[in-house]
Structure 1
Amino acid sequence: MTHLASVLVLLLKIHTIKSCAGVSLKTQELYAIVFATRYLDLFTQYVSLYNTLMKLIFLVSSFSIVWYMRRHKIVRRSYDKDHDTFRHYFLIIPCLLLALVLNEKFTFKEVMWAFSLYLEAVAILPQLVLLQRTRNIDNLTGQYVFLLGAYRSFYILNWIYRYFTQPHFVQWISWISGLVQTLLYADFFYYYFQSWKNNAKLELPA
């Protein structure tokens, strides 16, 4: 739900304000790849209606955000291309190579699942670099990044709970990639809570 809330906040900004200022297209493209490779079982393995709906929501929303930022005449004008220069393509190859080496089972679907986890762990980097360069962050963008980080932090609490309540629950790939992803948000969380405590505008140091 926290992850869904982050997507809704971003869509609210794009659809209502017709602006993607402060949002990294590079990060959105990486997330689109993450969901496309993780949900390959969408039409081959049915878990529940909720599970299927959530997968479809994340797939459609991620690709629609990329489309809006690239193609929508009004929205794309607000895209800060000059500051969003992180070479995100260089993250894809190492994550794919890592997935080929470290996976739970050497099948196409399992390798792609591992790849999606590794890529998700670092997908936020272009967004964090963009915020670091622009420094001034509007409320919706700040809330989007905070909710995205909180979603992974809650996952860690879920893993701890399941480790102590479910025998033999071990998912090293998810645990390590999730921990790396959460640590990347640590600096942002600090300044986010500082601004909230002081009732001030969120600003990151240069």
Structure 2
Amino acid sequence: MVTTRQMEYRRATDVTVGGVQLDLKKIQRSVSCWALDRKFWMRHQKEVKAWAAFVVVLLVCYKYFSDGGFSAILTLSSAFQCFAFVLLVVKIVTQGNCAGISTHSLVMNGVALLSRLCSTLFFNGYLPVDKSGDWVYQAADVLSLVLTVLIHILMRTRYRSTYQAQHDKFPFILPTLIAAGLAFLVHPRLNNWLPADFAWTFGLYVESLAMLPQLFMMSKAGGEVEALNSHFVASVAASRFLAFLFWVHSYTELGPRRGKGFNYAGWGVLVAFGTQLLALADFLYHYINSIRLGRALIIPEMGV
């Protein structure tokens, strides 16, 4: 039942213009939301411009250096990873600090990239059959490796005082050694040469663990995550998801010849990608919510 006061309130907030009734409160809320969105986008101009430039580069590569085949997803995955490291360089150079970046994660990513390139630069077994596998795929990985080295040098020299070593405590040597052991025991044979097959598999296994130090560091510090740092992790997650999508459809190619025996290598690849996506799931939940609500990304502090 509508009271007299409610009716008076409605009359006070309703206006008729040209025979159309307007609700002033709804208009006010809409204007407020627009103003907040505008402030949000103005505050994140660097990220918006970076993403726009990345999309343009992707479109150019697709137009001139790809056949549009399904295997081009692998090249797209490498492109997202490369873009992730570009974001870190932009963050360090524009903000003058390396706060929130894990050197342990950078080292593991660098090892993974170097190991994979030892295979993909000299052998064709794990390259996309799409035209982008001729050189674009490898070029993206080479650039990613160069950027990881550059970021690491900047963090150890010019911006050393801003590195948060107290939060970057996740062990990385033991997981890397475990990945090497697993790669030796379980690996595909598409290159038909053990060192090259081992190098590719080792890179993949290390890569599956490489973001754990970064996620641990964010959780250890807790609180608001700087925008470019969050976009870095999200871009890496996109890269991993695309690679996972490719291997879900292609893992059978990694199995034993003539289809005899269990496909340990194929399932090893799927488990590696699945593990890292699960590790990134909680971060992505908070990341998507922050974008949806137009707010800063807040990570709960780890109770350690």
TM-score, normalized by length of structure 1? Answer: 0.88
Alpha-carbon separation, structure 1, partners of 2:100 and 2:138? 31
> Of the candidates 62, 83, 91, which is equivalent to residue 167 of structure 2?
83
Partner of 2:139: 53
Partner of 1:65: 151
Aligned length: 200
Alignment partner of 1:147 is 2:235? yes
User: For each residue in 1:126-181, what CA deviation from the matched residue of structure 2 results, as whole angstroms up to 9, or x when unmatched?
Assistant: 10010001112110101111111111112233334x44xx9x54533332211111
Larger radius of gyration: 2
Q: In 2 relative to 1, CA 108–78 (structure 1 residues): closer, same or farther, beyond 3 Å?
A: same
- Which structure has more strand as a fraction of its residues? 2
Alpha-carbon separation, structure 2, partners of 1:44 and 1:193? 39
User: For each residue in 1:78-133, what CA deviation from the matched residue of structure 2 results, as whole angstroms up to 9, or x when unmatched?
Assistant: 11011111111121111111111111247112112111111111111110010001
Give the SS at the match of 1:44. coil
Tell me if structure 2 keeps the 8 A contact 1:114–1:173: no
TM-score, normalized by length of structure 2? Answer: 0.61
Tell me if structure 2 keeps the 8 A contact 1:42–1:55: no
AA of the residue aligned to 1:59: L
AA of the residue aligned to 2:273: G
Alpha-carbon separation, structure 1, partners of 2:279 and 2:88? 20
Structure 1 vs Structure 2 CA RMSD: 2.0
AA of the residue aligned to 2:233: V
Alpha-carbon separation, structure 2, partners of 1:184 and 1:43? 30
AA of the residue aligned to 2:210: A
Alpha-carbon separation, structure 2, partners of 1:27 and 1:81? 12
Partner of 1:31: 109
Q: In 2 relative to 1, CA 43–143 (structure 1 residues): closer, same or farther, beyond 3 Å?
A: closer
User: For each residue in 1:180-200, what CA deviation from the matched residue of structure 2 results, as whole angstroms up to 9, or x when unmatched?
Assistant: 111110000111112222222
Alpha-carbon separation, structure 2, partners of 1:197 and 1:103? 41
Partner of 1:12: 90
Could you list the runs of 5+ residues in structure 1 that have no partner in the other structure?
A: none
Q: How does 1:1-206 map to 2 (within 5 A)?
A: 1-41=79-119, 44-45=122-123, 48-71=134-157, 73=158, 75-105=159-189, 107-135=194-222, 136-160=224-248, 162-163=249-250, 169-170=253-254, 171-206=266-301
Alpha-carbon separation, structure 2, partners of 1:92 and 1:159? 22
Partner of 2:32: none
Alpha-carbon separation, structure 1, partners of 2:289 and 2:104? 27
User: For each residue in 1:7-38, what CA deviation from the matched residue of structure 2 results, as whole angstroms up to 9, or x when unmatched?
Assistant: 11111112222211001010001111111111
Tell me if structure 1 keeps the 8 A contact 2:103–2:168: yes
Give the SS at the match of 1:28. helix
Alpha-carbon separation, structure 1, partners of 2:219 and 2:93? 25
Alpha-carbon separation, structure 1, partners of 2:120 and 2:238? 26
Alpha-carbon separation, structure 1, partners of 2:136 and 2:226? 32
